[in-house]
Structure 1
């Protein structure tokens, strides 16, 4: 139930259950918060799967110290990490965003710590990143060194790192890591509909800087793929998270997955749906992008596939939810408040809409 603009998936699931119970519906109910590769996906997966958290102080996207976290699945030598945990936008105001300075190096240090503990696969949730560094910072956290033409090392937060980069030094003994990358968008990296132009403004990128950012990333990827002895081909999904997948693919084996599909498989959601009479999900605002990788739409499609007899219900604000693959649409009013007041308003709106829709049903 991603209504995360104001409520977490867990909070929304609890509210819906309470509304259904008070409306007089008889269970049993099964609450499964879902995610689709966006901010918090791996944390939610870890909670659902009972994974072990590991904490480490690392630099955030702008170099400030932050407590990062990854989740360990020891039996599979696998770690789950949200890119946004260390390298996200956080609470930084829009007027203070600096996409050319922001780096994913903190996430790289989390990965390095997991690798030192024996992990050989990294599941990385790509949502919510503050940077457009093409994975340059992650690789730096894993031991790669970048030099300018004078042989001087470029630090992770150098605002002109793309323009000054001349040489890449690969670390000795680089582990044979596999990356499973979870995305909720399918944009390529470059072009009018590419991730730089579509998502760059969310990270503070001005429209007048689009071409500058594209030239910088193209130069970085040209050097990286030459060093990795691979050929770069822009692909669907590379536009997520400022091109992280594109940079990692220069040196590692990557599996770029639709985050919702991966999440559903891990929590065995199809089995739960087969046992259900009704599947109810929600999104803060169902829009034209919802059908392209967002969790609620993917869940409704999964339900239609594995249990066509189950009733499918979508809760959302706006009117486009009426076009979703659902049997019923429950409309939420738009939020009028901000901050903590918006959270309270969202909770009240969600409870009221669910209660009124099912009371006496």
Structure 2
């Protein structure tokens, strides 16, 4: 039996590569004659470009930059010298994971540190930057990145607005280009289809997760609309909101006003880069997983997109997940994890134990499994 072990991250508990290792060890412990290939997956969410860089064996380049609140930290990106392409995640330095609950504040948090990484990549020789949009702490429409790349944002009196200052977006009255913008193109990987504006846009859907208070919703929307009009007036490319531009607080929307930009479904892009079809063809059973499969999973998430690819190639797919929404998803076998108490201090350990135990029980029921 040949297995392809390709889990996504189990959000809040087990990283994709760790999950893959646990699944492989468990399978081979019970079925030592089987063969197992490991390829953890991502779909544009937190850590997508890190995982992609590791799977592709890219050089890891480090730089001193700022976190979402302007505190110093160490960031990095993967670099492919052959294609002159840098791979980085917004979450690496501008991620919500770096903030305590009381520090979440989209009026202050900025993508500036990600912009610093982009500039470092350009100094390194990059002509293209691929950015994973998941896990950001910001709803800044890319102003932080644009500032790091040489753009100035001025208040109504023509004074530069300091980065990481309160109500930054609302105070912008003028956008000023300080020099010729660099010649670089961007590919943004996303795992959501939300636009920036609208009822399902970044502000109402993701704003509360990033600290936006209910009473500030309208005010933040007005600030965003005002800045958007400034971008429209300043852009020579033309700028238009659309599907996917709500990811990471509108970063791709702001960048698209001045740079060549494309949005790509994170899962499809990832699978192409790691030659997932070839890996599936070599396997008999493909086993994937995520923390909780729900109605959002079928809208571009990694496990669902992998299942579609597996079906296309006529192989068998297994899914490890919690909840019951996966029962009608189309996977051949569902391994249902127990619900966890995320307030428990040892929740990661409990999650790993549950993953292993659930897989052991399922394999026990398939002792004579042969393909």
Work out whether the TM-score is over 0.5: yes
1:33 aligns with 2:40: yes
| 2:279 matched residue in structure 1 | 272
Encode CA deviations 1:39-84: one digit per residue, 9 max, x unaligned.
Answer: 1011000100011111111110001111011111111111011101
Q: Which residue of the other structure, out of 122, 131, 134, is the alignment partner of 2:138?
A: 131
Instruction: Tell me if the contact between 1:57 and 1:66 (Cα under 8 Å) persists in the aligned partners.
Output: yes
How far did residue 340 of structure 1 move?
5.2
CA gap of 1:240–1:23, structure 2 versus 1, over 3 A, is same
Greater shift in the superposed pair: 335-344 or 8-17? 335-344
Stretches of structure 2 that go unaligned for 5 or more consecutive residues are: 1-6
1:246 aligns with 2:246: no
Q: Which residue of the other structure, out of 125, 129, 136, is the alignment partner of 1:122?
A: 129
Q: 1:144-183 residue pairs with structure 2 within 5 A?
A: 144-183=151-190
How far did residue 220 of structure 1 move?
1.3
Counting matched residue pairs gives: 359
How far did residue 180 of structure 1 move?
0.4
Distance 1:46 1:345 in 2: 29
Encode CA deviations 1:236-259: one digit per residue, 9 max, x unaligned.
Answer: 001100000110010011110110
CA gap of 1:339–1:182, structure 2 versus 1, over 3 A, is farther
Q: Which residue of the other structure, out of 333, 346, 354, is the alignment partner of 2:351?
A: 346
| 1:65 matched residue in structure 2 | 72
Q: Which residue of the other structure, out of 87, 97, 120, is the alignment partner of 2:94?
A: 87
Greater shift in the superposed pair: 106-115 or 21-30? 21-30
Any idea what SS the aligned residue of 2:188 has? strand
Any idea what SS the aligned residue of 2:38 has? coil
How far did residue 229 of structure 1 move?
2.5
After TM superposition, the score normalised by the length of structure 2 is 0.94
| 1:3 matched residue in structure 2 | 10
| 2:239 matched residue in structure 1 | 232
| 1:335 matched residue in structure 2 | 340
Distance 2:279 2:349 in 1: 30
Q: Which residue of the other structure, out of 318, 321, 330, is the alignment partner of 1:313?
A: 318
Distance 2:100 2:296 in 1: 25
| 1:202 matched residue in structure 2 | 209
Distance 2:241 2:258 in 1: 15
After TM superposition, the score normalised by the length of structure 1 is 0.96
Stretches of structure 1 that go unaligned for 5 or more consecutive residues are: none
Distance 2:93 2:329 in 1: 34
| 1:289 matched residue in structure 2 | 296
Instruction: Tell me if the contact between 1:22 and 1:355 (Cα under 8 Å) persists in the aligned partners.
Output: no
| 2:192 matched residue in structure 1 | 185
| 2:362 matched residue in structure 1 | 357
| 2:3 matched residue in structure 1 | none
Encode CA deviations 1:97-149: one digit per residue, 9 max, x unaligned.
Answer: 11110000010011011111211100001011111000000000111111112
Instruction: Tell me if the contact between 1:162 and 1:219 (Cα under 8 Å) persists in the aligned partners.
Output: no
Distance 1:221 1:118 in 2: 31
Following superposition, which runs of at least 4 residues in structure 1 exceed 3 angstroms of deviation? 337-340
Distance 2:253 2:218 in 1: 18
Instruction: Tell me if the contact between 1:25 and 1:358 (Cα under 8 Å) persists in the aligned partners.
Output: no
Instruction: Tell me if the contact between 2:127 and 2:185 (Cα under 8 Å) persists in the aligned partners.
Output: yes
How far did residue 339 of structure 1 move?
6.0
Instruction: Tell me if the contact between 2:170 and 2:220 (Cα under 8 Å) persists in the aligned partners.
Output: no
Distance 1:85 1:7 in 2: 17
What is the aligned-residue RMSD (CA, Å)? Answer: 1.3
Any idea what SS the aligned residue of 1:75 has? coil
Any idea what SS the aligned residue of 2:327 has? helix
Distance 1:96 1:160 in 2: 15
1:21 aligns with 2:40: no
